[in-house]
A and B are shown apart, each in its own frame.
Chain A
Amino acid sequence: MNYNPITALAIFFGICLLLYFAFRPKKGIYFLLKSMYKQKDKVIIEDILKFLYHNQLSNNSITTIGLTNSLNFSNSLIIESLKKMMDNELIVLEKDSYKLTPNGNEYAFQIIRAHRLWEKYLSEKTGFHKEEWHERAEDKEHELSESEINKLSDLLGNPRFDPHGDPIPTSKGKMKSKRGVSLSSLKENDIGQIIHIEDEPDIIYKQILAENIHLYSTIRVIENNHTRVVFHSEGEQFVLAPIVAGNITISVSEKNETLEENIARLSSLKIDEQAKIVGLSKECRGESRRRLLDLGFVKGATVAIDLLNPLGDPKAYYIKGTAIALRKDQASKILINRIE
Chain B
Amino acid sequence: MENKPNSACETCGLFNADGLKKLGVKTDDFDFVVALAGNPNTGKSTVFNALTGLRQHTGNWPGKTVLRAEGAFEYNQQKYKLVDLPGTYSLLSTSEDEEVARNFILFGKPTVTVIVADASRLERNLNLVLQILEITNNAVLCLNLIDEAERNNIKIDTRILSKDLGIPVVPTSARFQKGIPELIQTISELANGKIQCKPRRIKNIPKNIENSVQKLSDSLTKEYPNISNSRWIAFRLLEGDTQIIEALKTGNIATNEY
Give me the interface of A with B, judged by CB distance under 8 Å: 154-158, 287, 290-291, 293-296, 320-322
Indicate whether B177 reaches chain A with its CB closer than 8 angstroms.
no
Q: Are A321 and B123 in contact (CB under 8 A)?
A: yes
- Which of A154, A293, A322 lies in contact with B121, CB distance below 8 A? A322
Q: Are A320 and B123 in contact (CB under 8 A)?
A: yes
Interface contacts beyond A287-B94, A293-B90: sample of 16 additional A-B pairs, CB < 8 Å, sorted by A: A154-B240, A155-B242, A287-B93, A287-B95, A290-B93, A290-B94, A293-B92, A294-B89, A294-B90, A294-B92, A296-B124, A320-B121, A320-B124, A321-B120, A321-B121, A322-B121
Indicate whether B127 reaches chain A with its CB closer than 8 angstroms.
yes
Closest A residue to B237 by CB, please name it. Answer: A157
Q: Are A294 and B239 in contact (CB under 8 A)?
A: no
Give me the interface of B with A, judged by CB distance under 8 Å: 89-90, 92-95, 120-124, 127, 239-240, 242
Q: Are A157 and B239 in contact (CB under 8 A)?
A: yes
B153 to chain A, nearest CB (A): 13
- Which of B93, B121, B123, B242 lies in contact with A294, CB distance below 8 A? B93
A-B pairs, 8 with minimum CB distance: A157-B240, A321-B121, A294-B90, A294-B89, A290-B93, A320-B124, A320-B123, A296-B124
B225 to chain A, nearest CB (A): 28
Q: Are B124 and A321 in contact (CB under 8 A)?
A: yes
A305 to chain B, nearest CB (A): 18
Q: Are A155 and B240 in contact (CB under 8 A)?
A: yes
User: In the complex where A296-B124, A321-B120, A321-B123 touch, is A290 in contact with B92 (Cβ < 8 A)?
Assistant: yes
Closest B residue to A321 by CB, please name it. Answer: B121
Once bound together, how far apart are the Cα atoms of A306 and B201, in whole Å?
A: 33
Once bound together, how far apart are the Cα atoms of A28 and B173, in whole Å?
A: 62
Q: Which residues of A contact B240 (CB under 8 A)?
A: 154-158
Interchain Cβ contacts under 8 Å between A and B, 30 examples = A154-B240, A154-B242, A155-B240, A155-B242, A156-B240, A157-B239, A157-B240, A158-B240, A287-B95, A290-B92, A290-B94, A291-B89, A293-B90, A293-B92, A294-B89, A294-B90, A294-B92, A294-B93, A295-B89, A296-B124, A296-B127, A320-B121, A320-B123, A320-B124, A321-B120, A321-B121, A321-B122, A321-B123, A321-B124, A322-B121
Once bound together, how far apart are the Cα atoms of A156 and B89, in whole Å?
A: 23
Once bound together, how far apart are the Cα atoms of A41 and B240, in whole Å?
A: 36
Q: Which residues of B contact A156 (CB under 8 A)?
A: 240
Once bound together, how far apart are the Cα atoms of A156 and B121, in whole Å?
A: 34
Q: Which residues of B contact A293 (CB under 8 A)?
A: 90, 92
Q: Which residues of B contact A158 (CB under 8 A)?
A: 240
